[in-house]
Amino acid sequence: MLTFFKPWRTGKDLKEKKETWDSAFLDYQFSAQQKFLMDNFELRFECLDSRDDYHAQRKAQSLGIDPSKLEPDFDDGIHFGPFKCSDDSLGVRERRRQLDMQEMTDLLANTGWTNAKCDLKSHIPASFDYPSMSPAAWRLEIAKMKSNVITNKLKENKDQQYNFPNKYPDQVEVLDQHMLEEKLRSNQTQKLIDDLCLEFSLNLEQERAFRIVANHAVSSISDQLKMYIGGMAGTGKSQVLKTLREFFKRRLQSQRMIVVAPTGTAAALLQGSTYHSVFGINSSEEGEFWKMSASQICSRLSGVDYVFLDEVSMLSCKDMYKISAKIASALNRPLLPFGGMNMIFAGDFAQLPPAMGGENVSLYSHTIGTSSSDQHASIGKYLWHQINTVVLLRKNCRQTGSSIRDVKFRQALENMRYKQCTAEDITLLRSLISDPSNESRSIDNPRFRNTSIILTYNKHKDVANELGTKRFAAETGQMLADFFSEDEEVVFDELPSKTHDRKRKRRKATKHKINDEVQQQLWKQSPSTNNMQIPATLSLCKGLPVMIRFNGATELCITKGQEGTVHGWQAGKGRHGQLVLKVLYVKLEKPSTDVQFKDLPLNVVPITPNTRRINCKLPDDRIIQISRTQVEVLPNFAMTDFASQGKTRDPNVVDIYNSRDFRAIYTALSRSSSADGTIILQGFNVNHITGGVKDKGGYRQELRELEILNDITKLRENRKLPPSIIGDLRGSLIQQYRSHFGKSHTPDELHESLV
């Protein structure tokens, strides 16, 4: 924009040598006409992109492919027949992708991040004599250890009886629920609850959430608990969970509560499981495919009274329906929401919505229920609106620094949740941008340069991982070993044009050898060119930071998003004579629980190759469906904002230039534990975090209604709730609340942008 509108003859007229392009752009005073032109420069191309995406979706649907399972860049259908591919025939989207990747390469190179400067030989693990076990043997060992963990959980307190003695035999009394609960709570139990509140240093809101669940657990007459614990990132939702776990543990009732999450990363951080594995729900996005009967699910839920589900913002309405349907089916209570199971949801709706479908499929979507074609999604939203007990946590427990910058950083994050950042917030955020002239605030600083960068797009992640891998090998004085995938083309039989059978026919798939020319092209492709991010070529050396990319055993921290380093490997030869991995040994970094395999060092786990059917894009923009066998790990020099959710990082390096909206920026920055530990790679779009949420109808309404439900819950717990406010559904509760207090009444702590 400066080159278009600012008069110049040399580059020095555009900016000073030590000045960043971002600051030069901000300092220049554009005219109103120039600003108008800049706002509309991209309009034509955005319209063309939308048109191309729409045509690609129509084409994919005609070929029987679910468009939601393709990456956003996959826009040209699928090709099943044999074909040839040439380096010279680059498609339009491939050219654009390569240009974007080159921009990221230049950005990282200009900061000095790619230069080998440190001596990291100390990061190389000592040689180890690994047991000579085949991949199949290791998979069996993993299955056994996982089964043992699950079995031990099921056995624990399985026969525990929850008897509540009747202190009033042959006596009839008229009591309300609160009086009954008071009589049923023993002094010993109340002392335990009080002691745990002090022991875990719970603040006011955390204590309220904990007491609601704990008092519900010791009562024999309580209704089904349907609860949501919310609040911005770092407000201590996991601390409430830890306290609840300790409460059930001391009462010898640990089995009464299980912890699940939508992703393996979130589940591992909480020492839980993915809800897919517990309830037998398939997920192509998470790479989980389960064949579990209702009896198996029922066995896993034996003795369970409470399900704690974290990161609820990542659930779609369909996901909510599936969870309820599976639990209800397993417990044989189809008419009750969630089968009558007590549900505790936790999460922050200011973070990213579901990866597939985004805001349109989220729990606060305004489009759900407008069409009769998607009944399951409508039921899922109705189920979410039955959550009537809400506690919102306010105090930030992650960014706890007392410096002026930390205080301002916390305020900026809070305002960012509502897309309401002030000029002071923007100034602070700009001061966090990497500055090559200031070594302490540069990404090239040793404190930051070895930290995984949070990015938006997978193609940019591929660039950072490739450059970071080469730099790490140089700094450790090692040669990279390239391990290739085993690929086969998948060809589907054509369905008959006419069929007299009403049953849905499935096309049979057969595997064919890929010709050498296409295979060489596939091996050159980066992981982001396929829909499951499975690398065609893995370049590894000992000590290299990696991230596991599949949910193998969440109970053993072999889960998607778990970070670690390469400890060693066993290799062999593939069908094309290429080097392939048989077993990769990864040392887990900060696992939620220690893992010990026989004959392996502590927290070193074996990762074996998996075979997946994937859609892979070729350089000419065509898509081929293949069966790929490869170890599912990636170098860990960068991660996407979706993968970062739930993590606390210090230091935290982010690139928010390409962030989709304020939620993506908030998700990336809220991983930080301090302002000084945060580095922003380059400038960002101020419009994403200013202007308020008035145009975000569903999101804004959800936050407003949760604030009202939080106020209702607070009044109920303090015995101040008017008798006229009663009900199970969100709508009726809020209507009664407004009827009693007036339509203009708002909770005291409602953010000004929601008023």
- In this structure, the answer to whether residues 344 and 278 fall within a common structural domain is yes
- In this structure, the answer to whether residues 415 and 296 fall within a common structural domain is no
- In this structure, the answer to whether residues 384 and 411 fall within a common structural domain is no
Give the Cα separation of 232 and 249 in Å (integer).
28
141 falls within a domain = no
- In this structure, the answer to whether residues 709 and 675 fall within a common structural domain is no
What would the mean pLDDT of 147-174 be, rounded to a whole number?
58
Boundary-marking domain end, from 43, 62, 77: 77
| Domain extent for 246 | 178-220+236-393
Q: Is the pLDDT of residue 665 over 70?
A: yes
Give the Cα separation of 663 and 703 in Å (integer).
14
What is the pTM (predicted TM-score) of this model? 0.82
Long-range contacts for 131-134 (Cβ within 8 Å, ≥24 apart)? 131/598, 131/599, 131/600, 133/583, 133/606, 134/582
pLDDT, greater one: 172 or 151: 151
Q: Is the pLDDT of residue 400 over 80?
A: no
pLDDT, greater one: 671 or 37: 671
287 falls within a domain = yes
CB contact set of 722 (below 8 Å; sequence gap of 6+): 715, 740
CATH number, domain with residue 358: 3.40.50
- In this structure, the answer to whether residues 327 and 441 fall within a common structural domain is no
**Exposure letters 571-590 (e unless 16+ CB within 10 A, then b):** eeebeeeeebbbbbbbbbee
151 falls within a domain = no
Give the Cα separation of 171 and 339 in Å (integer).
33
Give the Cα separation of 728 and 708 in Å (integer).
14
- In this structure, the answer to whether residues 208 and 350 fall within a common structural domain is yes
- In this structure, the answer to whether residues 411 and 388 fall within a common structural domain is no
- In this structure, the answer to whether residues 301 and 282 fall within a common structural domain is yes
Boundary-marking domain end, from 13, 42, 77: 77
Boundary-marking domain end, from 393, 415, 440: 393
386 falls within a domain = yes
Going by the DSSP 8-state scheme, the letter that residue 83 receives in this structure is: -
730: its two tokens? 């969100």
pLDDT, greater one: 600 or 555: 600
- In this structure, the answer to whether residues 296 and 313 fall within a common structural domain is yes
- In this structure, the answer to whether residues 51 and 7 fall within a common structural domain is yes
- In this structure, the answer to whether residues 351 and 298 fall within a common structural domain is yes
241 falls within a domain = yes
Count of domains observed in the chain: 4
pLDDT > 90: percent of the chain? 50
pLDDT at 584: 97
Q: What is the pLDDT of residues 82-118, one digit of tens each?
A: 344 455 578 888 999 999 999 999 999 988 899 988 8
Q: What 3-state DSSP class applies to 179?
A: helix
Q: What is the pLDDT of residues 292-318, one digit of tens each?
A: 777 778 888 888 999 999 999 999 999
pLDDT at 70: 44
- In this structure, the answer to whether residues 284 and 426 fall within a common structural domain is no
pLDDT at 180: 47
Which runs of E-coded beta strand occur in 275-431?
306-309, 342-346, 389-393
280 falls within a domain = yes
pLDDT at 499: 55
Within 10 angstroms of residue 431's Cβ, the number of other Cβ atoms is: 13
Q: Out of 32-46, 508-522, 602-616, pick the least confident.
A: 32-46
Q: Is the pLDDT of residue 78 over 60?
A: no
Query: At 111, phi and psi to the nearest 5?
Result: -80, -10
Instruction: Tell me the β-bridge partners of 640.
Output: 455
584 falls within a domain = no
514 falls within a domain = no
pLDDT at 267: 82
pLDDT band for position 49 (cuts 50, 70, 90):
low
